[in-house]
Amino acid sequence: MAHAPRGIDHVLFVSGGSEAIEAALKLARQYFVERGEWERKYLIARRQSYHGITLGALAVGGREWQRKQFAPLLIETHHVSPVYEYRERRADESPQDYGERLARELEDKIAELGGANVIAFVAETVVGATLGAVPPVPGYFKRVREICDRHGILLILDEVMCGMGRTGTLHACEQDGVAPDLMAIAKGMGGGFAPIGALLIAGKVFAAVADGSGALQHSHTYMGHPLACAASLAVQQVIRRDDLLANVRKQGAHLARRLGERFGNHPFVGDVRGRGLFQGIELVADRGSKAPFDPKLKLHARIKRAAMARGLMVYPMGGTVDGARGDHVLLAPPFIVDVAAVDTIVERLGEAVDAAIAEIG
């Protein structure tokens, strides 16, 4: 807890990212019930986001193709725009202006629903699976925090993929100067091997339950699983002992530089983005118009095959633009990578991208 974002002083250990998000949504609602604010029932999240596969997590997630068939089962969630600077910042806007426009969109949505009816705003600090390592623009989360505070709405950050050191600080939101009320973490907590996730809880949320009904109405048999917690603790100890966050920052900068060199002028790569050892490239059929490749070509799947054939495991995905069109490749190498490994990753990725594009002519 000593290293948690400001105000966070309790933790609930679960078995993965989706469970952490489910717990966050339930606790957020219960927080308001404890306070007698029964009318708070809406969740606001963002398009093109992924928060997990269980029904609550799927409801807040903004991946249309994944939600569509389960739509009748999903709790009501309202989606606003993600921060997606490459495609959605206008040429006449500074990054700050763009962040301000997105903040106004959130304010408008809150006004439409009624501020006193909203439970929480849910967002990935740096977007992972759906967009491919897209960080927020400067100032965006500070404005979001202010807006949430003004309406008494909880801010839930999802750092399941981008947290626990991946971006070079223990929590990605440290670099945005904000602290959430609830935060989901998982994946890197167990070095990617142990089935563990956690919900970090701000003191004010904990106190409302502790001083009210006394118990969170949510549990799983394997909450606080000793084996998973021990594995996670060992991972954290090694990260500290070997100063791996310094390595994430150093190799992250090297990775960004090498990706820029290899793909910065590539005719079919429109954008290279990311933070720390969490980087992505976005493929385009035309750099000028940013037109994506025809989704029927499944370029991302071809890149995955070509990369695997070269002994490289990366995370290519489609639907980058709108859930249907677009392709990106997400890179999240281990915290122990060195310069040589980073160079090999970029070299093989370059070959895989070129081979996949050659395949489709």
Ligand X SMILES: Cc1ncc(COP(=O)(O)O)c(C=O)c1O
Place of tokens 């793909």: 263
Using Cβ positions, the residue closest to ligand X within the complex turns out to be 17
Find, among 205, 195, 116, 197, the residue nearest to 155 by Cα: 205
The C-alpha atoms of residue 195 and residue 219 are separated, in whole angstroms, by 16
Residue nearer to ligand X on the CB measure, 66 or 344? 66
Cβ burial 79-100 (10 Å sphere, 16+ → b, else e) = bbbbbbbbbebeeeeeeeebbb
Edge to edge, the sheet with strand 279-283 lists 269-274, 279-283, 327-331, 315-318
Token duo for residue 195: 């089935």
Q: In the window 57-96, what residues touch ligand X (CB under 6 A)?
A: none
The C-alpha atoms of residue 62 and residue 79 are separated, in whole angstroms, by 7
The C-alpha atoms of residue 284 and residue 265 are separated, in whole angstroms, by 12
Interaction mask 191-230, ligand X, x per CB under 6 A: ------x---------------------------------
* Cβ at position 248, least distance to ligand X in Å: 18
Which residue in 40, 51, 79, 273 binds ligand X (CB under 6 A)? 51
Which residue in 13, 31, 32, 50 binds ligand X (CB under 6 A)? 50
Q: Which residues pair with 105 in a beta bridge?
A: none
Residue nearer to ligand X on the CB measure, 229 or 291? 229
Which residue in 62, 128, 191, 319 binds ligand X (CB under 6 A)? 128
Q: Which stretch binds ligand X (CB under 6 A): 1-9, 98-106, 158-166, 174-182?
A: 158-166
Residue nearer to ligand X on the CB measure, 50 or 141? 50
* Cβ at position 21, least distance to ligand X in Å: 6
User: Does 18 interact with ligand X (rule: CB under 6 A)?
Assistant: yes
Cβ atoms of residues 41 and 119 within 8 Å: yes
Length of the chain counted residue by residue: 361
* Cβ at position 358, least distance to ligand X in Å: 31
User: Does 263 interact with ligand X (rule: CB under 6 A)?
Assistant: no
Token duo for residue 147: 């807006």
* Cβ at position 127, least distance to ligand X in Å: 8
By the criterion CB under 6 A, which residues form the site for ligand X?
16-18, 21, 50-53, 124, 128-129, 158, 160-161, 186, 197
